[in-house]
Amino acid sequence: MSVNGTFHQQLIEQLRALVRGGDFAPGKQFLTEREIAERFKTSRPTANKALSSLVSQGLLEMRRGAGTFVRESVLDYDLERLVSFTDKAMAAGKVPGTTLIDYRKIDGRTAPPEVASSLKVGPEESLIYMERVRLADGMPVIFERRHVVAKLCLKMTRADAKGSLYRCWTEKCGLEISGADEVIHAVNAGKAEAGHLRVPVGRACFAIVATGFVGDGQPLWHETTVYRADVYEFRNHIRGLNDSRSALGRIRDRRSLHR
């Protein structure tokens, strides 16, 4: 990549950090081309190009005659890094919440075969099974079913499951989350999903099946999570033909933890 190309990408990342870091609330006007040029010591054409990139990624929106504003009304799912739902909702100006539907200990023989295989557990090994609904401003937006290897997070309690699991695992249990393998596909909400998400049966949703890892690749959790398609967008930056990293690989490979 050229020096100019490197600087342009760095500028995009710096502006993205401003948006996601809560410096500009959803619905509020973002920096202008002139302000970006002055703040980051660059040209206005470069500033315009960076703004256009964030618009195409769905973080900003152009309003004719008014300027560029931070998008609201939808939550974006970051395909490049793991981000806590709690942090994501707060960054979007929404109040996060969790309804814990189920939380209990099971063993490997009770878990579905694909879950036991993904987590590499035997029939006698203990797992924690939970079902949760994640809420943004009181509206249910995610329904998840999750299995967790119990011996790796002995300090986790039922109360922890009502908040950010990432925070519990990293801060309370001292784990280093190294990434996750995931597959994203479209589904129609079944009776259970529709009931928890308060949508009609058959409503189009996104589903993610994922296995998360700690340390040098030890499986920690397996989840099947359904997202409301009317409030979530999945976005990714597609690189050029000369970039050896494929977009598909970036989505499906283990993702680095966003700290």
- CATH value at residue 162: 3.40.1410.10
Kindly report whether the global pTM for this prediction surpasses the value 0.95: no
- Domain assignment present for 64: yes
Residues 196, 212, single domain; the answer is: yes
- Structural domain ending residue among the three candidates 72, 99, 132: 72
- Domain assignment present for 258: no
- Structural domain ending residue among the three candidates 72, 92, 109: 72
Residues 157, 184, single domain; the answer is: yes
User: Which tokens hold the place of 139?
Assistant: 């509206």
Please state, in angstroms and rounded to a whole number, the distance separating the CA atoms of residues 205 and 49: 33
What pLDDT sits at residue 230? 80
Residues 36, 97, single domain; the answer is: no
Residues 143, 198, single domain; the answer is: yes
What pLDDT sits at residue 247? 44
- Domain assignment present for 148: yes
Q: Which domain holds residue 226?
A: 75-237+247-252
Residues 112, 48, single domain; the answer is: no
Q: Structural domain tally of the chain? A: 2
- Domain assignment present for 181: yes
Residues 142, 85, single domain; the answer is: yes
What pLDDT sits at residue 251? 32
- Domain assignment present for 173: yes
Residues 85, 36, single domain; the answer is: no
Residues 205, 82, single domain; the answer is: yes
What pLDDT sits at residue 2? 46
What pLDDT sits at residue 243? 57
Residues 200, 111, single domain; the answer is: yes
Residues 179, 195, single domain; the answer is: yes
Residues 181, 220, single domain; the answer is: yes
Indicate which CATH number applies to the domain containing 46: 1.10.10.10
What pLDDT sits at residue 250? 36
- Domain assignment present for 136: yes
- Structural domain ending residue among the three candidates 72, 91, 109: 72
- Domain assignment present for 172: yes
- Domain assignment present for 257: no
Residues 43, 81, single domain; the answer is: no
Residue segments in the chain with a per-residue pLDDT below the cut of 70: 1-5, 22, 57-58, 72-76, 78-81, 91-92, 235-259
